[in-house]
């Protein structure tokens, strides 16, 4: 199996200390692996891949033609690090985090480091990450840096070096967690036997520390996770962390500033936000003070930070540390600020703003890589070894104008680690790796996650190790010499009554609105597909001799699928299979897909994919025959049934689910009313089988009556039968009971509008009223339909008006 | 030039929206700054409609700011700032002695223990003030090696005045310096950004000054450009003379006729009134500035 594993070629090899000689801490894993059959490996790999697919782990790669939602690339072989080596790394990272926190406090406070010449002012003042409005903020607990991540690489001599620091909104901890869940299941025995240190404690500390440092007041501490939204490359991780930590996942538009405080717009009104774990870059956080061309963000957030009324992790402006230019100054700063020697060395870095360093870097250009000193400036790294004389001269000329904007760095020949090759037969190959490690500020200093995200070079250019460039990842196992604290999970051992979660009380208005519309569009797609199938079937073989096709066509017109005067067959085919048909099936599916996309953190990836597949179905835009169109409609209806099955089985019955259900039922209620109105208008001459078919009630009817459809029993089944899920009464009762349930929490939600409808249905006398000419029946149906519209408006006004997206128009700049 | 002057400044800004604005957050840089040669005797800002919240503060550059929030639906926003200031003559004589301009460059590679951050803030590029070859090329004729600092800077000020046309239609608030250089037109803000780009590209510290210029001139004298709105000019730092203000729009040193609101790296640091609103699109913006001399 290791036949394919190459020699290290001058690199450090994580697995072997000499050819085929595993290092001590790998020995056990190595023996187990070599004793495992290829078949067994295949099975573990397949299980891991299934788990990735099922949990929907994705990473959006901007540069990837596959676009959104590339499945997460995880190698099941962990990187193993011995306990004693880890202790060094751990101490170095905690020290570094503390150092950066102190540097930030100085830069955004007294600036004595600049004044005393310990850091060149130009290095800081020229950074776009240095945010002047963030100066002089009153930070809760005085902490700038809550979450910190660092990228490490190991050089051929076995030492770990810091390649880069992540101080603004570090990503990856959630992926590390997900990798752990998957890989520990792939090798459960080894995971236990190697006494791998657990990571759950790290996340619990993150949750508790934010709560500890957050300002208090206006109810229990509410921490939210601020995401730029589903298009962000690490959105999956935002959703995962939010769920794992129990924080609402919010976008900028879900928050508002009033009275110098930040509030979450929920269906229960405004709720004070005490802490924000942000995954949004700081320049996008506040269109008023940070970046006027950003329509995103929360206007006034900077001022709240200034007042100290909200904890923002990390503090606004903390990104300034991410400039590589500081690296060379850290040893001195560490001595100065902490009185300690810097434990973890940074990769050798020249800041070109220093003339002597600039000249030196040019002299050694062959072994250096030139980069921007400012992460916000677009400048692709240039490897000195790739440049000829003219190329170097051009680079120097460019840099000379503003040398402070550039750094030169050595590049490390990163270590290699074993990776399971995907192609058959399963072999083990070597890939370059880097390690991202995470730290969180706790009440007693910085806590380092034991483990981290090992990143695997994609292979194309081994000099890069980057998820954004399409590399893979690994779990990281830190073995322990003592016992492993297995008692810990994020779930508290005892939950007291005051800890009980009132489900859904903090559902953002935007989410509730999207759930409501998900319900409506899902039902509307189903209704459109069923109606189109019915109409096309009737065109194909009108075997119900007494059934005229006229009412069905009238209904397709009423439902905006076709128009008066069109040829029925081509109009129906267009509505079913053409993209440009304005109110056709495609438009409804697309609306459904868009809403589903915004709800990805609430429903499984499979749901979104199945809708996405329908929208992208190759049938759209083709010339199709009638049978092909019918086949397509069958598929659509099946897809919708799967989706509604998910809503029925897969969602917690919280208020969010109630909004989804109300949306579906209002939509179905209004559609069934419309169908009945059309049927009643056409009267006794037109037959009734179509109506039963449309309501999916043919079987029920035949079982009950063994007879041809007649008005009294059909109307009873479709209007009054409270056991038939497509009857008006079933829908009306459902909507009414959901509204009553919501009113327990939120006060009036519109049940008073629905009650007369429920009573009117109860008041219908089958013997007297269930006839097509009956006015009482007609009026009741009319009232139900207009009430469905009124309720939809009323709910929007009552719950979703907050959800108005903050599209800020900027003035004066 | 000697003596002193007093002014009453009224700065009225009125936004008219098409449709109701439901929420507005605004940040105003409308309060004149106290300096060694300028005293603010009176200052008040009136806002219509009444803001739900209002707070005074000081920004990073030491300028006074007012932040306010309006949450009542409105279709007109009016902000009137009224100030009375006394100004002492402070500009150096155009013939004053100054060291060679190279003396104002940062000492290479050294960060002494007594760095004057007040100067260092203004050496680097900022979003609207790029450091670029074109600006060096334009500035070079004024900055011959060894030329006295004041002489060189004043020459650049006068060249911009002479070689660029004042044209409010040519540019917007987001026009880049490179476009201004190419088309040789613009308004005070563009000329200030251009001059800043020239100075900083050479390595000289210089800042953007926002304020007003006297628009009430005796009969027969030519009115200064930029007098009916807020004005902008440049202050550059000389190791001997300190900060000296140059008005490239009018080709002269800024002195008694200039009321200083505040300064920053560029326009966006000291925008008189900026904000974000939800709802109605902006339909009309009117700004009326009056600078009246007061008899002492």
Check whether residue B75 and residue B109 sit in a common domain.
no
pLDDT tens-digit profile of A155-182? 999 999 999 999 999 999 999 998 998 8
DSSP string for A486-537: -S--SS-S---GGG---TTTT-BHHHHHHHHHHHHHHHHHHHHHHHHHHHHH
Ranges of residues in chain B with a pLDDT under 50 are none
Cβ–Cβ contact B134 with A under 8 A: no
Contact B113 A258 (CB under 8 A): no
- Mean pLDDT score, A428-446: 94
Contacts of B281 in chain A (CB under 8 A): 809
Which pLDDT score, from 0 to 100, does residue A366 have?
A: 93
Contacts of B203 in chain A (CB under 8 A): none
Residue B60: domain span? 4-88+271-294
Quick one: pLDDT band at residue A504, thresholds 50, 70, 90? very low
Q: Say what percent of chain A tops pLDDT 70.
A: 89
Check whether residue B223 and residue B280 sit in a common domain.
no
Identify which has the larger pLDDT, B219 or A241: A241
CA angle, residues A16, A19, A23, in degrees to nearest 5:
25
The lowest-confidence range among A449-453, A543-547, B247-251 is A543-547
Flag whether pLDDT at A400 surpasses 90: yes
φ, ψ dihedrals at A151, nearest 5°: -100, 120
Check whether residue B70 and residue B130 sit in a common domain.
no
Question: Count of domains in chain B?
Answer: 2
- Mean pLDDT score, A447-468: 74
Check whether residue B167 and residue B239 sit in a common domain.
yes
Best of A283, A291, A399, A811 to substitute, by most chain B Cβ atoms within 10 angstroms, is A811
- Mean pLDDT score, A735-746: 90
- Binding-face residues of B in 151-210 toward A, CB within 8 A: 173-174, 201
Contact A115 B114 (CB under 8 A): yes
Rounded CA separation A692/A666 (Å): 20
Domain presence at residue B285: yes
Which pLDDT score, from 0 to 100, does residue A460 have?
A: 47
- Binding-face residues of A in 499-558 toward B, CB within 8 A: none
Cβ–Cβ contact A300 with B under 8 A: yes
The CATH number of the domain holding residue B31 is 2.60.40.2250
Contact A804 B273 (CB under 8 A): no
DSSP state for residue A424 in the 8-state scheme: S
Which run of H or of E encompasses A202? helix A200-213
pLDDT tens-digit profile of A273-283? 999 999 998 88
Query: pTM higher than 0.90 for the full model?
Result: no
Check whether residue B115 and residue B77 sit in a common domain.
no
- Looking at CA atoms only, how far is residue B86 from chain A in angstroms? 28
Domain presence at residue B96: no
Check whether residue B116 and residue B72 sit in a common domain.
no
Check whether residue B108 and residue B219 sit in a common domain.
yes
Check whether residue B118 and residue B221 sit in a common domain.
yes
Check whether residue B264 and residue B279 sit in a common domain.
no
Rounded CA separation A31/A23 (Å): 12
Cis peptide before A802 (omega within 30 of 0): no
Domain presence at residue B94: no
Domain presence at residue B93: no
pLDDT tens-digit profile of A318-347? 999 999 999 999 999 999 999 999 999 999
Contact A117 B113 (CB under 8 A): yes
Rg (CA), chain A: 32
pLDDT tens-digit profile of A59-81? 654 434 444 456 678 889 999 99
Best of B72, B75, B111 to substitute, by most chain A Cβ atoms within 10 angstroms, is B111
Identify the closest residue of chain B to A404 by CA–CA distance. B124
- Binding-face residues of A in 403-432 toward B, CB within 8 A: 404
Contact A809 B282 (CB under 8 A): yes
- Looking at CA atoms only, how far is residue B255 from chain A in angstroms? 27
- Binding-face residues of A in 745-804 toward B, CB within 8 A: 804
Contact A401 B69 (CB under 8 A): no
Map A77-113 to HEC letters. Answer: EEEEECHHHHHHHHHHHHHHHHHHHHHHHHHCCCCHH
Check whether residue B198 and residue B230 sit in a common domain.
yes
Please state, rounded to an integer, the average pLDDT across all residues of chain A: 87
- Looking at CA atoms only, how far is residue B202 from chain A in angstroms? 9
Are residues A576 and A531 in contact, defined by beta-carbon separation less than 8 angstroms?
A: no
Which pLDDT score, from 0 to 100, does residue A491 have?
A: 45
CA angle, residues A13, A18, A21, in degrees to nearest 5:
100
Cβ–Cβ contact B275 with A under 8 A: yes
Check whether residue B239 and residue B278 sit in a common domain.
no
Contact A292 B15 (CB under 8 A): no
With CA atoms as reference, report the closest residue to A609 among A592, A588, A621, A622: A592
Domain presence at residue B22: yes
The CATH number of the domain holding residue B261 is 3.10.620.30
Which run of H or of E encompasses B118? helix B117-120
Domain presence at residue B227: yes
Q: Are strands A809-811 and B38-48 parallel, antiparallel or unpaired?
A: unpaired
- Helix pair angle (A728-746, A751-763), 10° resolution: 150
Contact B272 A292 (CB under 8 A): no
Check whether residue B238 and residue B123 sit in a common domain.
yes
Q: Say what percent of chain A tops pLDDT 90.
A: 57
Flag whether pLDDT at A813 surpasses 50: no
Quick one: pLDDT band at residue A497, thresholds 50, 70, 90? very low
Rounded CA separation A794/A788 (Å): 10
Q: Around A763, how many Cα atoms within 13 Å sit in the side-chain half-sphere?
A: 11
Cβ–Cβ contact B53 with A under 8 A: yes
């Amino acid at each position: 199996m290791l036949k394919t594993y190459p020699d290290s070629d001058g690199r450090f090899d994580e697995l072997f200390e000499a050819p085929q000689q595993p290092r001590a801490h790998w020995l056990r894993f190595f023996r187990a692996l070599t004793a495992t059959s290829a078949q067994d490996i295949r099975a573990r790999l397949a299980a891991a891949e299934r788990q990735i697919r099922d949990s929907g782990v994705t990473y959006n790669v901007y540069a990837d033609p596959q676009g959104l939602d590339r499945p997460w690339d995880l190698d099941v072989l962990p990187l193993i690090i011995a306990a004693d080596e880890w202790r060094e790394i751990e101490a170095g990272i905690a020290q570094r985090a503390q150092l950066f926190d102190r540097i930030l406090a100085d830069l955004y406070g007294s600036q004595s480091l600049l004044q005393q010449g310990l850091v060149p002012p130009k290095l800081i003042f020229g950074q776009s990450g240095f945010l002047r409005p963030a100066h002089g903020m009153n930070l809760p607990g005085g902490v700038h840096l809550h979450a910190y991540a660092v990228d490490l690489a190991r050089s051929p001599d076995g030492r770990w070096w810091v390649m880069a620091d992540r101080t603004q909104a570090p990503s990856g901890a959630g992926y590390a967690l997900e990798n752990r869940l998957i890989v520990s299941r792939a090798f459960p025995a080894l995971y236990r036997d190697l006494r791998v240190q657990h990571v759950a404690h790290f996340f619990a500390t993150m949750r508790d520390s934010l709560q500890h440092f957050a300002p208090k007041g206006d109810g229990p501490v509410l921490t939210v996770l601020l995401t730029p939204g589903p298009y962000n490359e690490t959105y999956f991780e935002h959703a995962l962390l939010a769920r794992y930590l129990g924080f609402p996942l919010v976008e900028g538009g879900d928050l508002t500033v009033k009275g110098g405080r930040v509030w979450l717009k929920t269906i229960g009104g405004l709720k004070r936000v005490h802490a924000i774990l942000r995954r949004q870059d700081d320049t996008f956080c506040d269109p008023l003070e940070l970046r006027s061309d950003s329509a995103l963000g929360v206007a006034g957030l900077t001022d709240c930070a200034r007042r100290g009324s909200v904890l923002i992790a990390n503090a606004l402006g903390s990104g300034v540390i991410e400039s590589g230019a500081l690296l060379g100054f850290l040893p001195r700063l560490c001595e100065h600020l902490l009185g300690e020697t810097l434990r973890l060395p940074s990769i050798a870095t020249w800041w070109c703003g220093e003339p002597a360093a600039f000249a030196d870097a040019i002299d050694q250009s062959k072994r250096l890589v030139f980069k921007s000193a400012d992460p916000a400036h677009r400048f692709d790294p240039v490897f000195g070894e790739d440049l000829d004389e003219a190329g170097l001269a051009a680079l120097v000329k460019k840099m000379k104008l503003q040398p402070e904007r550039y750094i030169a760095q050595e590049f490390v020949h990163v270590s290699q680690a074993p990776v399971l090759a995907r192609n058959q037969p399963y072999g083990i190959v070597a890939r370059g790796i880097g390690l991202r490690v995470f730290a969180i500020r706790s009440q007693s200093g910085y806590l380092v996650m034991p483990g981290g995200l090992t990143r695997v070079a994609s292979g194309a250019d081994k000099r890069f190790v980057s998820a954004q460039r399409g590399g893979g990842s690994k779990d990281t196992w830190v073995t322990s010499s003592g016992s492993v604290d297995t008692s810990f999970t994020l779930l508290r051992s005892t939950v007291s009554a005051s800890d009980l979660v009132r489900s859904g009380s903090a559902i953002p208005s935007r989410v509730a609105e999207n759930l409501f519309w998900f319900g409506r569009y899902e039902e509307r797609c189903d209704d459109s597909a069923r109606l189109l199938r019915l109409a096309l079937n009737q065109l194909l073989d009108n075997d119900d001799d007494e059934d005229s096709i006229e009412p069905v066509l009238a209904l397709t017109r009423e439902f905006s699928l076709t128009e008066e005067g069109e040829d029925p067959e081509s109009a129906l085919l267009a509505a079913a299979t053409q993209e440009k048909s304005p109110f056709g099936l495609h438009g409804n599916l697309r609306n459904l897909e868009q809403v589903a996309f915004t709800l990805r953190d609430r429903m499984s990836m499979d749901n979104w994919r199945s809708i996405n597949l329908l929208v992208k179905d190759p049938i759209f835009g083709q010339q199709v025959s009638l049978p092909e169109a019918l086949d397509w409609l069958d598929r659509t209806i099946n897809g919708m049934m799967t989706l509604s099955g998910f809503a029925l089985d897969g969602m917690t019955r919280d208020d969010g689910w109630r909004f989804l259900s109300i949306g579906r039922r209002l939509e179905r209620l209004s559609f069934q009313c419309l169908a009945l109105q059309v049927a009643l208008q056409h009267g006794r001459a037109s037959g009734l089988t179509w109506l039963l078919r449309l309501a999916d009630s043919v079987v029920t009817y035949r079982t009950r009556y063994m007879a041809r459809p007649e008005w009294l029993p059909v109307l009873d089944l479709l209007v009054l039968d409270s056991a038939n899920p497509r009857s008006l009464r079933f829908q009306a009762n459902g909507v009414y009971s959901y509204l009553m349930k919501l009113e327990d929490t939120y006060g009036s939600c519109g049940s008073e509008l629905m009650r007369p409808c429920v009573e009117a249905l109860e008041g219908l006398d089958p013997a007297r009223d269930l006839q097509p000419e009956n006015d009482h029946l007609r009026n009741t149906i009319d009232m139900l339909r207009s009430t469905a519209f009124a309720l939809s408006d009323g709910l929007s006004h009552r719950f979703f008006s907050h959800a108005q997206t903050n599209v800020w128009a900027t003035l004066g700049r | 030039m000697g003596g002193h002057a007093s002014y009453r400044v009224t700065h009225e800004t009125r936004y008219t929206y098409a449709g109701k604005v439901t929420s507005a957050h605004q940040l105003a840089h409308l309060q004149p700054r106290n300096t060694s040669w300028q005293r603010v005797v009176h200052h008040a800002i009136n806002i219509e409609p009444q803001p739900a919240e209002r707070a005074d503060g000081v920004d990073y550059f030491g300028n006074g700011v007012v932040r306010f929030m309006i949450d009542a639906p409105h279709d007109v926003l009016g902000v009137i700032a009224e100030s009375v200031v006394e100004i002492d003559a402070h500009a150096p004589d155009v013939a004053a002695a100054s060291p060679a301009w190279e003396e104002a460059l940062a000492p290479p590679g050294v960060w002494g223990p007594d760095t004057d951050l007040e100067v260092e803030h203004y050496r680097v590029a900022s979003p609207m003030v790029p450091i670029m070859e074109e600006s060096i090329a334009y500035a070079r004729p004024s900055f011959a090696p060894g030329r006295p600092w004041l002489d060189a800077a004043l020459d650049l000020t006068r060249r911009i005045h002479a070689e660029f046309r004042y044209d409010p239609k040519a540019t917007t608030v987001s026009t880049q310096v490179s476009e201004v250089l190419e088309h040789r037109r613009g308004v005070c803000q563009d000329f200030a950004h251009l001059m800043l780009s020239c100075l900083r590209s050479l390595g000289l510290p210089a800042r953007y000054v926002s304020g007003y210029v006297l628009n009430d001139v005796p009969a027969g004298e030519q009115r200064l450009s930029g007098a009916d709105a807020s004005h902008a000019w440049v202050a550059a730092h000389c190791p001997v003379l300190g900060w000296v203000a140059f008005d490239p729009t009018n080709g002269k040193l800024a002195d008694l006729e200039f009321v200083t609101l505040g300064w920053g790296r560029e326009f966006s640091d000291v925008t008189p009134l900026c904000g974000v609103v939800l709802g109605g699109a902006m339909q009309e913006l009117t700004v009326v500035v009056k600078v009246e001399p007061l008899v002492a």
